Structure 1
Amino acid sequence: MSDEKAARLAAIRAANAAKRGIAAQPSTMAERVSAPSEDLVQTASARRETPAAEALSEIRRAPSQPQRASESDSFADMPPAMAFQTFIGIVLAAILGAFAAIVALPTWLPGLSASLLGAEPKAYWYLSRSSAFVAYILLWLSMVFGLLMTNKLARVWPGGPTAFDLHQHTSLLGLAFALFHALILLGDRYIQATLTQVLVPFQYSGYEPFWVGLGQLGFYGLAIVGLSFYVKERIGRRAWRLLHFLSFVVFALALLHGIWSGSDSQGDLARVIYWGSGGSVLFLTVYRVLVSLARPKKEGRVQAS
């Protein structure tokens, strides 16, 4: 296990232990904060040697605050799973890939000219539709892993730190594929969309402009949620969590965009994808709400006993 993943795992375990300690022994925890034990003092230098120990030390200092430590707070304290430089590289790869398909491929592969530049070009449309499905599935996976974390089902599979990594990676990769999905349409001479029509919501006046506009809004919403991983230290934990609620709106917009503007939405495969993804997100969302409602009652019974 790498030091980074070990740090995440240690942070989550320490937060859970702190939560149980505060609920069961508040006076004992206060004594530990005010008077650190000799063992902690003796091992302080050793804990500073690894990232996992540093993260654990930070979480151990959290019980001095009056608010209750929660599992979502421990995830909010974790560093981004994907380095910002890596994310920028992926975005640039999507842009350059679209540019290569539009400009370079007809020159390098003249045999594709009939499909790329002919009277009824279809290659760019196929590239756009395939990348759209990939982007949508990645967005769906990001929603699933995020809900698994907040529902605490990630403890069963695939584990808290792994779910957090997958949640962020799928979100950012989905954003890159969504960008490619939009830019590749610039090469389709049948649609004849301009860069402004592709990037500015509701500026496209061709096929299903309203549903296309909703998809464009969903793309920018996904960008806001994805980039929030890198600015949560500046905007604060509360604002970061509120921004993440935007994910539900983004998913709904992407689903409506795919159903109503997709040319193959009536196909069996597309129906399976849309019904399966929408149904699973709805189920996990309802389960999350029920768990949130049941938690205060459980905590009240524990305090009463």
Structure 2
Amino acid sequence: MVPVEQRRRRRWFDLSAFRSDIRAAAYDATAALVITLLIFAWFYRRIDAGTSATLQVMPFLADAGLYWMYWMCQAFGWSALLWAWITVLLGLLRTTRGAAGLPVSAMRIEKWRRTTSLTTIALMFAHAFWFFAELVRENEAGLGPAGRVWSAFIDVFVPGGYSSGTGQIAILIGLLALYLAIPLGLAFYARRSIGAKVWRVLHASVIVVYVLSVWHTLLYGTNVWFDGWFRTTIWLLQLPVAALLLLRLVTPAHPPRPRPLDALGRLAGRGAAAATIVVLLLVAASGRDGGRTPGAEGAGLNVTQPMIWAGLAAFIVAVTILVIREHRLASVRQTTAGRRAPQTPQTGDE
């Protein structure tokens, strides 16, 4: 007989499905690791040859062998963004009504989405870990081994802990993306406990993680501190995401409920997606995205940590309200269905 506590854990979190997806993600993660190593080799060769535009901003990184952990961190960051892009595209395809016409079944797309999501979280953590390892190596002034580790941990893994330069914004944004990706990404395995409607709210909010990841990478990533085809290409790759998001909002897989608040939310989402497409086209055409430009003096930060914390608070409040609302609606539907269900007549034996 299965113990009560074990049954409760099984009900709360679907460990069986989680283990199955981890096993399935082994091939996906292996491909991601190979691509990461190729990116690392490319970065290393450019730094070693002195052709990386990053050296215009941070010339001390010219010793590729000494700073190899930093470049490993950067390589994992780029592969994480690539896998996040793939995951978002798969998720949008899966939840769009036109997905039925694709040559691949919806179940297969959903399986791919889950495995790439797990790989993305692992890549994001590896990105942060290698930066942590590099800071441990660098932290030598007056610090013992424990002090070096603790100082690096605060800088890398504590939101707001890094307090100098653009890192105070870049690392905060990246950490919020990582820490939001974990619960929102794993919410799928708790959907039976929290309810399908609530899970859909959490699942839809994952797009914020992707936005933070793009912001963190394109505006603060040290490998794109230059104008040129590479940065423009990355911006253009965001067009399919925005277009699919707009299509998803126009033709959702699940029929929308005829309620004014839901209609207003869909209208706002469509407007935001359409505006994003326009902005992406303007950025690609002009080359101006707020990132670094060779030869230009670094501008002051136009975003502050209090602004980011306020945005996070607003996001959490909005998601919480939607979750509570969906939970209450689900309870009302269950109560109504229970009242409408035919009552089984009781006999004396019962």
The verdict on a shared fold, with TM-score over 0.5 as the criterion, is yes
Who is 2:81 aligned against? 136
Q: Which secondary structure state, in structure 1, belongs to the residue aligned with residue 163 of structure 2? A: coil
1:290 deviation in Å?
1.5
How far apart, in 1, do the equivalents of 2:23 and 2:250 lie? 37
| 1:177 has 2:123 as partner | yes
Match 1:121 to one of 57, 62, 66: 66
Contact kept in structure 1, 2:25 and 2:115, CA below 8 Å: no
How far is 1:236 from its partner?
Answer: 1.1
Q: CA deviation at 1:296?
A: 6.8
Structure 1 gaps, min length 5: 1-76, 94-115, 298-305
Q: Specify whether residues 160 and 257 from structure 1 end up closer, same or farther in structure 2 by C-alpha distance, changes over 3 A only.
A: same
Deviations 1:28-47 (A, max 9, x none): xxxxxxxxxxxxxxxxxxxx
d(CA) in 2 for partners of 1:202 and 1:226? 23
Residues 1:247 and 2:206 are matched in the alignment: yes
Partner deviation per Cα, 1:95-116 (whole Å, 9 max, x = no partner): xxxxxxxxxxxxxxxxxxxxx9
Q: 1:191 to 1:281 in 2, by over 3 A?
A: farther
Whole-angstrom distance in 1 between the partners of 2:183 and 2:231: 27
Residues 40-96 of structure 1: CA deviation (Å, up to 9, x unaligned): xxxxxxxxxxxxxxxxxxxxxxxxxxxxxxxxxxxxx9x847537659999xx9xxx
Measure, in 2, the Cα distance between the counterparts of 1:134 and 1:166: 17
The CA distance in 2 between the partners of 1:203 and 1:196, in whole Å, is 5
**Structure 2: gaps of 5 or more residues:** 1-13, 31-60, 140-150, 258-350
CA contact (8 A) 2:92 2:248 kept: yes
Question: Could you tell me how far apart the structure 2 residues matched to 1:161 and 1:87 are?
Answer: 14
Q: Offset of 1:143 from its aligned partner?
A: 0.7
Distance 2:253 2:189 in 1: 31
Residue 234 of structure 2 is aligned to residue 273 of structure 1? yes
* Paired residue secondary structure (1:249): helix
Which of 156, 159, 163 aligns to 1:201? It is 159
> In the TM superposition, what are the counterparts of 1:1-305 in structure 2 within 5 Å?
80=17, 83=20, 86=23, 121-155=66-100, 156-189=102-135, 192=139, 194-208=152-166, 209-265=168-224, 266=226, 268-276=229-237, 278-292=238-252
What is the identity, as a one-letter code, of the residue corresponding to 2:155?
Q
The sequence identity of aligned pairs, in percent, is 23
- Aligned counterparts of 1:119 and 1:161: Cα–Cα separation in 2: 44
Does the 8 Å contact 1:144/1:281 carry over to 2?
yes
Q: How far apart are residue 158 of structure 1 and its match?
A: 2.6
Q: Report the alpha carbon displacement of residue 124 of structure 1 after superposing the two structures with TM.
A: 1.1
Answer whether contact 1:225 1:244 (CA < 8 A) is retained.
Answer: yes
Deviations 1:235-274 (A, max 9, x none): 1111111111221111110110001210112353343123
Deviation at 1:119, TM superposition (A): 10
Q: So what's the TM-score if we normalise by structure 1?
A: 0.56
- Output the CA distance in 2 between the equivalents of 1:81 and 1:164: 14
**Structural RMSD (CA):** 3.5
Counterpart AA for 1:258: T
